[in-house]
Amino acid sequence: MSRSPFLTGLGAWTLDLVRVGPAPHPRWPIATQAALAMALPVGLFTVVGQPLVGLQAAGGAFTALYLASATVRERAKALPLVGLLLLACAAAGTAAAADPTAVLLGLVAVTVVSSALAYAFALGPPGPVFFVLVYGMATTVTAAVDGARRVEPLAFLAAFAVGCLLAYAVAVAPLVVPGVRRRPARALRALLPGPRLSLDARLLLVRVVIVAVAGTVLSALWVDQERAYWTVCSGVAVIGLSAGRRTAMLRGSQRFVGTVVGAGLFALIALVSIPAPLLALVLAALQFLIELVVVRNYALALVFITPLVLLISTAAVPGADPGGLASERVVDTLLGAVLGMLTAFIHPRQDR
């Protein structure tokens, strides 16, 4: 007796959800760098008695995630541009944070512009999602409460810049080895070719525009406009860098499942009062695991990405409710993932 198409499809989806594939290249070097880039700002600022500043600087660690397959000399050339773009997104967030309408308009603008740059210059994984995330974190951390900012914008940007610099230092540290310095390196133009938008890139950018506008509007009207950035982040992450319907459907479902499990993990971690020095190690461990598995199984990576971002968000903004934050992120992720999946119908039926 033959199985129904539904059961066959469900079985294939389940297999894709749990399958751990091979990595295209060894991941432990970039995972180690990412962990150090996350731990250093949190640990150093904690040592001098400013743990909250360390958590605000932790966002700069995302600089070290880009161009993972490039040589160290190549990364030394290109990562400053990544750090500057991340800092620009953070600055846009702090500038808009005092006005709710400006936050929403800025979210659409930052999402579209950063995605256009990422696609036009073939930046590669992890794509534009962290630029959107940094903007959203900046609006949250420096938001106005009762007429006063939670954190002074310039102080936040200074901390974030320190995080970017530390991440860059970690990424280029292997240059102290003479053999590493002697390896050939491509020119910056070859590393980031462009600006040019291929057909697939144009389709991806159209999908990003739809997710940015629809996610922002729907969040503002029916969810919570302060959380709109998470909805848009989820949609942009689902879109990713691959043009194809099946890829989008798989990434969307994996993102939701991974976020639900990750939110549960965060809720368990939040039950324990983690001392500031230990928090640096926890964040580093999560970042290491993320980079180790993200190319092997996207859902599994989300299990670690979700508590990482939520730990930074709740610790950097005292008074946040961990349980409420976890459940809100599940709702936001579902909305963003659905939007990202629906926009996949823009692509031709056959994946490229």
**pLDDT tens digit at each of 352 positions of the chain:** 455 655 555 566 566 666 666 666 677 888 899 999 999 999 999 988 888 888 889 999 999 999 988 999 999 999 999 999 999 999 999 999 989 999 999 999 999 999 999 999 999 888 999 999 999 999 988 988 877 888 899 999 999 999 999 999 999 999 998 888 888 889 999 999 979 999 889 999 999 999 999 999 999 998 888 889 989 998 998 888 877 777 777 777 887 888 888 888 888 887 777 787 788 899 999 999 998 888 778 788 888 888 888 887 765 555 666 667 778 888 888 898 889 888 888 877 655 4
| pTM for the structure as a whole | 0.89
Nearest to 306 by CA among 336, 283, 276: 283
Residue with tokens 């500031």: 276
Q: What's the pLDDT score for residue 346?
A: 84
Residue 302: is it exposed, middle or buried by C-beta count within 10 angstroms (0-12/13-18/19+)? buried
Cβ partners under 8 Å of residue 182, min gap 6: none
Q: What's the pLDDT score for residue 311?
A: 82
Residue with tokens 């420096």: 142
As a whole number of Å, the CA-based R_g of the chain is 20
Q: What's the pLDDT score for residue 351?
A: 52
Residue 255's identity, in one-letter code, is R
Supply the DSSP string of 141-169, one letter for each residue: HT-EETTEESS-HHHHHHHHHHHHHHHHH
Nearest to 132 by CA among 103, 154, 163, 167: 103
Residue 332: is it exposed, middle or buried by C-beta count within 10 angstroms (0-12/13-18/19+)? buried
